[in-house]
Every structure is written in C-alpha cells, then in structure tokens.
Structure 1
Amino acid sequence: MASPEILNKAAASFAFETSSLEFISNSTNEVFRFTKKDEAYILRITEKSHAYVGKIKAEVDWVNYLVQNGVRASLPIRTIDNQLTALYQEDGKCFIATAFHMASGRFFDKNEPKLWGTSIFKQWGEIMGKMHMLSKSYIPLETKRDEWRNSEIKNPHLQGKYYALLEKLKSLETRIMNLPREGDSYGLIHNDFHPYNFHIDGELITVFDFDDSIYGWFSLDIAIAATHAVWWGAPMDDRQSKNEFTTKFLNEFLEGYFKYNHLSDYWIKQIPFFMDYRNICSFFWWLSSWDGDESKFSDFQRSAIAYAVKLIETGQSFDGCEIVLD
C-alpha cells in the first residue's frame, strides 16, 4: 500500500491537491481518482522493482502514440518536469506513479440498448483494428513491453481435477508457442480490452488500462474481447445461446475491425481457439497461488471448476468457443 507520504509526492509530481484523492481499487495497482481544475483524472501507483520502470514507460508511450494518432484512449498526463512517470523510494520499495485523463461516460449494461449491442460491438472493433494497424508503425522505446510467453505454474496442490485444468492450459500453450509471429498478425496488443476497460459516452468509446499490454497475436486480442463479451454480455446462460451470441458479436466486431486492419482467413479461424485459451487462463487467476484449501473457493468457483473439468474430459471447448468462422 502506498503511504500518505507517497501519495503526497504523487500529488506534487502531477500538481493536484491530495484532498481530492478518492480510492477506487487495489488489485495489480492502487488506483485513485483526483480532480484538478474541475477535471477528473486517474492516479495509478505501482509497486514494482526499479527494473520495471522501463516497462511502464513503454506502456504510457504506447498509449500516448495511440491517442496522437486518433485512438480514443485515456491520455497519460505529464509531471511538472514533463515526464510520463514518477518514481519514489520508501523503505527499500519502489513505487511508480502514472496519471491519466479519466474517460468520460460509463460502463456497459447489457440490459440497456444504448450501452450494449451492434453499435458498441462495431465501434469496439474499430478501435481495436486501429490499434493493431498503428502497432505496425509504432517505434518502441529502448525498453519494450514483454512478448507473450507460456505460464510458469508450479503449484503442488494442482492434483486430480485441478491437474486436468493445468494439462489443458499446457496443451493450448504448446500449440500457441508454435504459431508464427509475423508482422501482419503479431504486434503490440492491449491484451485485456474487455467491457470493464472502456467507458461509453453517447456513441463514443474510450479505452483504458493498458498495463497488461504485450507483444502478441492480434487474434488473441480479439478473442479476449469476445470471451469477456460472452461472460458478461450474453443474453442467456445456456451453451447454445452463448455460441449464437458469440457469432453475432464477432460478425459485428470484425465488421468494425476490418475498417482499419486486415487479418487473413487463417488468423480469423484461430479466434475461437484463443477464446478457449482465455477461458482456461481465467481459472489460474486464483488457482496459481491456491494453497490447497477447497473451503476457500466460492460456490461459483466450485461450480465453474466442475463444469470446466467435464468439458475437458468430454473433449469440448468452453461455452461460446464452439463456433466456426469463415
């Protein structure tokens, strides 16, 4: 946790009053809202080693480039000494501060037509297509964002049914590692462009939270969007409805995407596979460091694990992934 002293330093760096700070969340980073001259901003505090500073600089430089070239994204703001990051040391720990304009609007609502549906899906696709197009021309800083790599999960508690999940993850990652990494299909991607990482304001979408950005496959980026659209936006929970929704979503999303970027038929056909991968990855957000105590799982988690194992044992993909794209 960032101490009051760290927050005071951040306020001085970005020239705002600490009294305006409002805590938002604390997961990978500590996130706050603040105001300056009646405008809202986001402050992000990241506790990492000093060696990680370059990675964050690479992230905000990328976002800055996107905004300069017409992508609606939360623009980073500079410190009083014209830097995009500020670095503080305290008790042997390193804290990296970044700040962004707060995106106007609100999150999606699948029950509100203006906040979920064809126009949103197409614009979502347009933004991602433009981002992938710009990825091809972007010249990165000396320190680049990481490349995609396979997971390194060595939890000894993953036995029995949990081992089935791990084996599924490993088998998909083995296939992914053998995929070509070509300029027309691979580049700097958001890697987490889901519905809670953009705001909708009227007919406009603004994307944010680029801290998971990596060099990866454009099809993977699309698949991540589609997977989360199914999780949170499908009208019904049965498998058939989710598959039908996925087909509709991707047809409309890709219509927008193709306005700015082209993918070959081969890479379009990989999207359901990458969706399957994103689904299996979701279990390891909480299984990778699990201590073996099943009582710590929620009813939802127990049910999700049982269903996933059943799908794996019967050779089926996850809901929404059982589609064929032409």
Structure 2
Amino acid sequence: MLYHDAFLARLEGGLRSALPTWNIDETAGLSLLTISENATFMVDDAQGGGRKILRVHRPAYHSDEEISSELQWIEALREAGIIATPAPIHARDGRLLATFFDGETHRNVVAFEFMNGKAPDEAGDLARWYGHLGEISARLHAHSRAWSPPAGFTRKTWTFDTIIGPNAYWGDWRAALGLDDVGRSVLERVAARLQQETASFGTSPDRFGLIHADMRAANLLVDGDRLGVIDFDDCGFSWFAYDFAASISFMETEPFIPELMAAWLDGYARLAPLDPEQAAALPMLVMLRRMQLTAWIASHSETPTAQSMGAAYTAGTIDLADRYLAADFLKGVA
C-alpha cells in the first residue's frame, strides 16, 4: 500500500521543505486533497496571496521534460483564452518545476493557482455541462491543430498499443481484479476488435493530435456559469474524440451516458461539427478507455479510487464488452 499514513506524513514533510521555492513559509497550512497517479495538496499561503495547489508527481512516470511540456501547453491555452484553467506558478528562480528528495527518490512538484468551483453534480443537469464541455473540447482541439509546440516539447502518445496493448502505460487489463476465464475470453475478443478498428480509423492529423485526455467530471470545476478544467497530467497525443471517452471515465455504464454524448456532440458543433467518422468512433473509444481504466485499477490498487471500484468495475467492463460485441452500445447516438 503505497499511500499509507506514514508515507503521506513523509511526503508532506518533504513538500514543506520545498515550499520556500515559491516564497511560501514552511509552516503554512497544508492539506491533502486527492491521491491518484500523483498526490495533490492545498497550501494556505496567508502571507503570499491565499490558497495554492501543489502537485507531487509519482516517480518514474513522467520525465522532467514531459512535465515542463504540460505546463507550457497550459500557459499557451491560457494566453490564447481557450480554456478556464489554473495558471502554473513560477518559482522564485523563474522555473515551473521544483524537486525534493524523499530518501533516495527524486520527486517533482508543480504549483498552480487555486480555482474556485466543484465537480458538476450527477444528480443535477449534467448534460448541460457536457454541452459546455463539448464546446471547450472543440476550442482546445482547434488550438491543438494550429499550435506549434516549442522546441523540446514532449508528451506521451496514446494509441491502442500504449492504452491497452503490449506497451500499455497503465498496466495489463488481464490483471483486472476478479477477472475469470469467461470474462477474459470476452475481453480478449473485444481487444482484438478494438485493435483492428483503431488501426482502420488511423491517426491522420484531422483526427489525432494533442488532447487533454482526462476531462472527466472530477477534473471539471463549476462556479456559476463557468466550467473550468484542471489536471492536464495525462495530456498527450491521441484521437481528438478520445477526449469524450475520457470525460465519462468511471461512469460508462450509467443510463444517462447517451444523453451526455449527444450533449457533448451538440456543444462541439457550436464551433465546428465533429466529422461523421469521428462521431461514429466514439463508442469504440469509450470501450477502449474503459479497458484502460480496468487495467489502471489493477495496477494502482493502493489508490482510493481503485479501492472504491474493485472487482465490480471489472464486471461492468465485461458487461460493456458483451454489449459492444453485440453492437448494442451507444447505438445510434452518434
């Protein structure tokens, strides 16, 4: 269990030692917000302008260059007015990336402005917000197509191979919690189909480029009429339509998903309609994402998210795969 209490206390101590990097006193109030791939803390910097968000990166996942590239894209998106997202905070030496040592482990830390808001309520008008999200996605994708990244820009590429193939970044779906031989057979068949379908769909520049890749509800902040987007940690090169698949992470089997998909497409069309081939690919990409998350839960079993999902999520993936193979998943919505 990576994130046990003693580990978190040690992590907080290391992070406190890094606070002066941003001219924050080491005694400032510090509280853990979330644990997933990384650990995210809020610091109450009473002397330096209030709350700030600090993200401690998990080692051996993103390189220094990848993290710096994420922050460069965020700054470019903010400068162009594309999206409401917190600004990265430069350290007193001007850098965006800081480090501290946890024993022999080198840990990267980045800081962001605090943004007010809360995740959209599933019990409320979720479709309304997914309409806004579709419009935001269209603006972001248009920027991605036109933007010339700076020299040295590098982010991961998300394709079948790195999502659920032999070189998957988030682990092997075959290690899914509670997966038996019958379920494995179903998922093997759907994986083979997805490999063929993604290869046929291709990666031409009109449908493949730099995306957020994790605009799920937990990474959306509603404040009045504003929809903010946070957490670009997974941004990389993939299918533009994959941003919708990622946006319904962990709720793919809910009955309201077709409504969210229709709202997202309508919102996207306010800027430019998603072309028919990309719209028709949404169910395929949702199934691909679901299998990726099934692998993630198995390989990140120490996280609260994985522990809350468990084997029940695997069972839902198998049910979704059966429906996908029977062409009975999000049929007719796109």
TM-score of the two chains, using structure 2 as the length reference: 0.80
Q: 2: CA distance between counterparts of 1:51 and 1:195?
A: 23
Q: Deviations over 1:140-192 (max 9, x none)?
A: 24141111132332867966135225413354134324432122211111111
Q: Is it true that 1:62 corresponds to 2:63 in the alignment?
A: no
**Quick one: which amino acid aligns to residue 260 of structure 1?**
L
Q: Is it true that 1:15 corresponds to 2:23 in the alignment?
A: yes
User: For the Cα contact (< 8 Å) 1:169–1:281, is it kept in 2?
Assistant: no
Residues 66-77 of structure 1 mapped to structure 2, 5 A cutoff:
66-70=77-81, 71-77=83-89
Q: Is it true that 1:246 corresponds to 2:257 in the alignment?
A: yes
Which residue number in structure 1 is paired with residue 218 of structure 2?
196
Which residue number in structure 1 is paired with residue 43 of structure 2?
34
Q: 1: CA distance between counterparts of 2:61 and 2:217?
A: 32
Q: 2: CA distance between counterparts of 1:307 and 1:8?
A: 41
1:318–1:301: structure 2 CA closer, same or farther, 3 Å change rule?
farther
1:309–1:223: structure 2 CA closer, same or farther, 3 Å change rule?
closer
Which residue number in structure 2 is paired with residue 283 of structure 1?
294
Q: 1: CA distance between counterparts of 2:209 and 2:186?
A: 28
1:306–1:104: structure 2 CA closer, same or farther, 3 Å change rule?
closer
Q: 1: CA distance between counterparts of 2:278 and 2:183?
A: 30
**Quick one: which amino acid aligns to residue 39 of structure 1?**
G
Question: SS where residue 96 of structure 1 aligns?
Answer: strand
Q: Is it true that 1:144 corresponds to 2:154 in the alignment?
A: yes
Question: SS where residue 205 of structure 2 aligns?
Answer: coil
Q: Deviations over 1:217-274 (max 9, x none)?
A: 011112222455655xx5xxxxxxx2xx333322322222223344321111111111
Of 59-68 and 281-290, deviating more is 281-290
User: For the Cα contact (< 8 Å) 2:265–2:274, is it kept in 1?
Assistant: no
Q: Is it true that 1:132 corresponds to 2:154 in the alignment?
A: no
Q: Is it true that 1:164 corresponds to 2:172 in the alignment?
A: no
Q: 1: CA distance between counterparts of 2:13 and 2:309?
A: 40
User: For the Cα contact (< 8 Å) 2:175–2:298, is it kept in 1?
Assistant: no
Q: Deviations over 1:52-79 (max 9, x none)?
A: 1001001111111111111101211111
Question: SS where residue 47 of structure 1 aligns?
Answer: coil
Which residue number in structure 2 is paired with residue 107 of structure 1?
119
Q: Deviations over 1:293-312 (max 9, x none)?
A: xxxx9896444444543554
1:228–1:122: structure 2 CA closer, same or farther, 3 Å change rule?
farther
Gaps of 5+ in 2: 1-6, 167-171
- From 201, 221, 237, give the equivalent of 2:243: 221
1:52–1:111: structure 2 CA closer, same or farther, 3 Å change rule?
same
TM-score of the two chains, using structure 1 as the length reference: 0.81
User: For the Cα contact (< 8 Å) 2:52–2:114, is it kept in 1?
Assistant: yes
Question: Structure 1 vs Structure 2: percent identity of aligned residues?
Answer: 21
Moved >6 Å (runs of 4+): 297-300
1:111–1:206: structure 2 CA closer, same or farther, 3 Å change rule?
same
Q: How far is the alpha carbon of 1:50 from its aligned partner? A: 9.8
Gaps of 5+ in 1: 235-241, 291-296
Q: Deviations over 1:96-120 (max 9, x none)?
A: 110111221112112334xx342x2
**Quick one: which amino acid aligns to residue 97 of structure 1?**
V
Of 156-165 and 53-62, deviating more is 156-165
Q: 2: CA distance between counterparts of 1:51 and 1:225?
A: 22
Q: 2: CA distance between counterparts of 1:156 and 1:280?
A: 11
Q: 1: CA distance between counterparts of 2:291 and 2:265?
A: 24
User: For the Cα contact (< 8 Å) 1:74–1:103, is it kept in 2?
Assistant: yes
Question: SS where residue 88 of structure 1 aligns?
Answer: strand
Q: 2: CA distance between counterparts of 1:96 and 1:317?
A: 45
Which residue number in structure 1 is paired with residue 277 of structure 2?
266
User: For the Cα contact (< 8 Å) 2:56–2:110, is it kept in 1?
Assistant: yes
Q: 2: CA distance between counterparts of 1:184 and 1:263?
A: 10
Which residue number in structure 2 is paired with residue 237 of structure 1?
none
- From 87, 90, 106, give the equivalent of 2:99: 87
